[in-house]
């Protein structure tokens, strides 16, 4: 199964990507290839550039140097409109759920269906209700985001991202701030996405339970590049002390963590 995925070639490829903010380099030389249908976890300490990495894929950030390829097409030089077709195929679930406060859940989910999917208002709203049903939010469909719990908001945001059936879904810390039960439900949803819909998932996370339960492969970001890459078993067996410190969650060790 893994071989079949690998032979199809990577769906996403970062080639020597560099990015600095205000003169401070965050990514220095990051290269990573993600296969079709894979659940790839990007892990690392806070502020190391995990979210920054995935935001380049959908044109929310621009690389300073390097290349990004999506399905055989170079995308790092596209303009805002050039990214529209990419955003139709690559969805993102943001860290803060980011539902639009002024809209009900149904309207939130209907927005990409109208704008990206080209549906009319009525059809988009009907479709949105179906999508909310899939994440068990039917009875809250007409509520506003402010009236709901964090877990519900997160689920609604996932429904909004999945509404247009993207081939690749980016998750930015999907389980952060959720109770363990909600977190494991989100994990299951991500796994099903890959197993049943054949979608590729790239998950930024430092939730060790998620990492070792659902990841196909893990990329460990450290000092602006990929320090280690492999299956959960491979990472657990890694002789690299920095990797070991992170996955064992030890407060002392060789890892450099700015600010501590």
> Which positions touch other proteins (CB under 8 A)?
55, 58-60, 80, 84, 87-88, 91-92, 94-96, 98-101, 111-112, 115-116, 157, 160-161
Beta-carbon contacts of residue 131 (< 8 Å; ≥ 6 apart): 109, 159, 160, 162, 163
Q: Which is nearer to other proteins, 105 or 235 (CB)?
A: 105
CB 129 to other proteins: min, Å: 17
| 8 A C-beta contact, residue 19 and residue 26 | yes
If the CB atoms of residues 68 and 157 are measured against other proteins, the closer one turns out to be 157
Query: Toward other proteins, which CB reaches closer, 106 or 161?
Result: 161
Distance from C-alpha of 25 to C-alpha of 23, rounded to nearest angstrom: 6
The residue among 84 and 149 lying less far from other proteins, judged by its C-beta, is: 84
The answer to whether 255 and 242 have CB atoms below 8 angstroms apart is yes
Q: What is the DSSP letter of 100?
A: -
Smallest gap from residue 248 Cβ to other proteins (A): 31
Distance CA 6, CA 155 (A): 31
Closer of 32 and 90 to other proteins (Cβ) = 90
| d(C-alpha 21, C-alpha 4), whole Å | 39
- Rounded CA Rg of the chain: 18
- Strands lying side by side in the sheet with 65-70: 24-35, 10-21, 65-70, 73-74
């Amino acid at each position: 199964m893994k071989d079949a995925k690998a032979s199809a070639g990577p769906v996403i490829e970062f080639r020597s990507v560099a990015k600095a903010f205000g003169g401070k380099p965050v990514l220095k030389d990051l290269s990573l290839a993600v296969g079709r249908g894979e659940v790839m976890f990007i892990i690392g300490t806070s502020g190391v550039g995990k979210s920054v990495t995935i935001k380049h894929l959908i044109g929310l950030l621009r690389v300073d140097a390097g290349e990004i390829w999506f399905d055989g097409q170079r995308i790092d030089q596209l303009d805002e409109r050039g990214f529209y077709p990419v955003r139709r195929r690559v969805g993102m679930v943001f860290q803060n759920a980011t539902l639009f406060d002024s809209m009900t859940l149904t309207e939130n989910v209907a927005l990409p269906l109208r704008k990206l999917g080209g549906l009319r208002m009525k059809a988009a709203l009907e479709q949105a209700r179906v999508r909310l049903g899939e994440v068990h939010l039917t009875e809250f469909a007409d509520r506003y985001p402010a009236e709901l719990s964090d877990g519900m908001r997160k689920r609604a945001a996932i429904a909004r991202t999945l509404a247009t059936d993207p081939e690749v879904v980016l998750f930015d810390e999907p389980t952060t701030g959720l109770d363990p039960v909600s977190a494991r439900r989100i994990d299951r949803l991500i796994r099903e996405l890959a197993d049943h819909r054949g979608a590729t998932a790239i998950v930024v996370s430092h939730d060790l339970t998620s990492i070792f339960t659902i990841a196909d492969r893990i990329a460990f970001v450290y000092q602006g590049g990929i320090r280690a890459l492999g299956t959960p078993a491979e990472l657990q067996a890694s002789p690299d002390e920095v990797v070991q410190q992170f996955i064992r969650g030890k407060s002392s060790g060789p890892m450099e963590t700015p600010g501590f």
